[in-house]
Amino acid sequence: MFDKILIANRGEIACRVIHTAKKLGIRTVAVYSEADAQARHVKLADEAWLLGPAAPKASYLLGDKLIEIAKATGAQAIHPGYGFLSENEEFAAACEAAGVVFIGPPASSIAAMGSKSAAKQLMERALVPLVPGYHGDDQDPALLARETERIGFPVLIKASAGGGGKGMKIVERAEDFAAQLASAQREALASFGDDKVLVEKYLTKPRHVEIQVFADQHENCVYLFERDCSVQRRHQKVLEEAPAPGMSEERRRQMGEAACNAARAIGYVGAGTVEFILDTLTGEFYFMEMNTRLQVEHPVTEMITGQDLVEWQLRVADGERLPLLQEELHIHGHALEARIYAEDPAKDFLPAIGHLHVLRTPQVSQTIRIDSGVVEGDEISPYYDPMIAKLIVWGEDRPAALRRMRQALSEYRIVGLTTNVDFLATTVAHPAFATGNVDTGLIARHRAELIPAEQAVSHDLLAIASLAELAEITRLAALRRAQSNDPTSPWNDAAGWRLNEATHTELHFRDTSGDRIALAHYRCDGFIIEIEGESIACKLLQESHGQLRFDLNGRQLTADVIRHENELHLFVFGRHHVLQRFDPVLDGLDEQDDTGSLRAPMPGTVVAVLVTAGQTVEKGQPLIVLEAMKMEHTIAAPAAGLVTELLYQVGERVNEGTELILLNTET
Ligand code: ADP
Ligand code: ADP
Ligand code: MG
Q: Write out residues with Cβ below 6 Å of ligand 2.
A: 131, 156, 158, 162-165, 200-203, 206, 208, 232, 235, 275, 277, 288-289, 440
Ligand nearest to the CA of residue 296, numbered in listed order: 1
Alpha carbon distance 635, 618 (integer Å): 13
164 lines ligand 1 (CB under 6 A): yes
328 with 364, same domain: the answer is yes
Number of H-type helices and E-type strands within the chain? 17, 39
397 with 472, same domain: the answer is no
pLDDT band at 250 (very low <50, low <70, confident <90, very high): very high
For residue 133, give the ligand 2 atom closest to its CA.
23
Pairing of strands 616-617, 534-544: unpaired
Ligand nearest to the CA of residue 285, numbered in listed order: 2
Q: Count of domains in the chain?
A: 5
Look up 510 and say whether it is catalytic. Answer: no
Q: What pLDDT is attached to residue 146?
A: 95
Ligand nearest to the CA of residue 163, numbered in listed order: 2
Q: What percent of the chain has pLDDT over 70?
A: 96
For residue 116, give the ligand 2 atom closest to its CA.
6
Is residue 117 in some structural domain? no
Instruction: Report, as an integer, the average pLDDT of 28-32.
Output: 98
517 with 427, same domain: the answer is no
193 with 211, same domain: the answer is no
Is residue 586 in some structural domain? no
Is residue 283 in some structural domain? yes
Is residue 114 in some structural domain? no
197 with 212, same domain: the answer is no
Is residue 13 in some structural domain? yes
289 with 411, same domain: the answer is yes
Domain at 18, CATH number = 3.40.50.20
Task: Among 426, 450, 474, identify where a domain stops.
Answer: 450
Alpha carbon distance 437, 507 (integer Å): 46
Please state which of the ranges 103-112, 360-369, 424-433, 625-634 shows the lowest mean pLDDT. Answer: 625-634
- Helix, strand or coil, per DSSP, at residue 240: strand
Burial degree of 335 (CB within 10 A; 0-12, 13-18, 19+): buried
- Helix, strand or coil, per DSSP, at residue 255: helix
For residue 166, give the ligand 2 atom closest to its CA.
3
Average pLDDT over the chain, rounded to an integer: 92
Is residue 540 in some structural domain? yes
Question: How many whole angstroms from 165 Cα to the centroid of ligand 3?
Answer: 7
Considering only CA atoms, give the Rg of the chain: 28
DSSP state, residue 205: S
Model confidence over 592-602: pLDDT tens digits?
444 445 888 77
Question: How many whole angstroms from 235 Cα to the centroid of ligand 2?
Answer: 6
Is residue 564 in some structural domain? yes
Side chain identity, residue 417: L
296 lines ligand 1 (CB under 6 A): yes
Task: Using the predicted structure, report yes or no on whether residue 234 has a pLDDT greater than 50.
Answer: yes
User: Catalytic residue among 40, 233, 293, 369, which?
Assistant: 293
Is residue 14 in some structural domain? yes
Check if the beta carbon of residue 224 is closer than 8 Å to that of residue 329. Answer: yes
Buried b (16+ CB within 10 A) or exposed e, 420-451: bbbbbbbbbbeebbeeeebbbebbeebeeebb
DSSP state, residue 249: H
pTM above 0.85, yes or no: yes
Ligand nearest to the CA of residue 230, numbered in listed order: 2
Task: Using the predicted structure, report yes or no on whether residue 351 has a pLDDT greater than 50.
Answer: yes
Residue of 381, 408, 383, 382 whose CA lies nearest to 394: 408
Domain at 627, CATH number = 2.40.50.100
434 with 552, same domain: the answer is no
Instruction: Report, as an integer, the average pLDDT of 354-363.
Output: 96
Model confidence over 605-651: pLDDT tens digits?
888 889 999 999 988 888 998 887 767 778 888 888 899 888 898 88
Instruction: Report, as an integer, the average pLDDT of 189-198.
Output: 90
pLDDT band at 470 (very low <50, low <70, confident <90, very high): very high
212 with 196, same domain: the answer is no
Q: Which of 57, 237, 296 to mutate to test the pocket of ligand 1 (most atoms within 8 A of CB)?
A: 296
Instruction: Report, as an integer, the average pLDDT of 2-8.
Output: 98
For residue 237, give the ligand 2 atom closest to its CA.
14
Q: What percent of the chain has pLDDT over 90?
A: 77
Please state which of the ranges 35-44, 159-168, 490-499, 576-585 shows the lowest mean pLDDT. Answer: 490-499
Question: How many whole angstroms from 333 Cα to the centroid of ligand 1?
Answer: 27
Domain at 474, CATH number = 3.30.700.30
Largest Cα separation within the chain, whole Å, is 91
Question: How many whole angstroms from 293 Cα to the centroid of ligand 2?
Answer: 17
Cβ-defined contacts of 348-351 (< 8 Å, 24+): 348/234, 349/233, 349/234, 349/420, 350/601, 350/602, 350/633, 351/382, 351/386, 351/602, 351/628, 351/629, 351/631
Measured by CA distance, the residue closest to atom 2 of ligand 2 is 163
Task: Using the predicted structure, report yes or no on whether residue 478 has a pLDDT greater than 80.
Answer: yes
Question: How many whole angstroms from 490 Cα to the centroid of ligand 1?
Answer: 61
Task: Using the predicted structure, report yes or no on whether residue 589 has a pLDDT greater than 60.
Answer: no
Segment (H or E) for 341: strand 334-341
Domain at 147, CATH number = 3.30.1490.20
Q: Which of 123, 440, 630 to mutate to test the pocket of ligand 2 (most atoms within 8 A of CB)?
A: 440
Question: How many whole angstroms from 290 Cα to the centroid of ligand 3?
Answer: 7
385 lines ligand 1 (CB under 6 A): yes
310 with 351, same domain: the answer is yes
Alpha carbon distance 161, 507 (integer Å): 56
Task: Using the predicted structure, report yes or no on whether residue 590 has a pLDDT greater than 50.
Answer: no
373 lines ligand 1 (CB under 6 A): no
Check if the beta carbon of residue 316 is closer than 8 Å to that of residue 214. Answer: yes
Task: Among 390, 417, 450, identify where a domain stops.
Answer: 450
Instruction: Report, as an integer, the average pLDDT of 472-490.
Output: 81
Task: Among 450, 478, 494, identify where a domain stops.
Answer: 450
pLDDT band at 591 (very low <50, low <70, confident <90, very high): very low
DSSP state, residue 195: -
Side chain identity, residue 518: A
Question: How many whole angstroms from 72 Cα to the centroid of ligand 2?
Answer: 41
380 with 510, same domain: the answer is no
- For residue 577, what are the domain limits? 459-581
550 with 475, same domain: the answer is yes
Please state which of the ranges 28-32, 129-133, 198-202, 489-493 shows the lowest mean pLDDT. Answer: 489-493
471 with 430, same domain: the answer is no
Reduce the secondary structure of 645-664 to three states and give it as a string.
EECCCCCCEECCCCEEEEEE
Model confidence over 548-585: pLDDT tens digits?
999 999 999 999 999 998 999 999 999 999 999 987 76
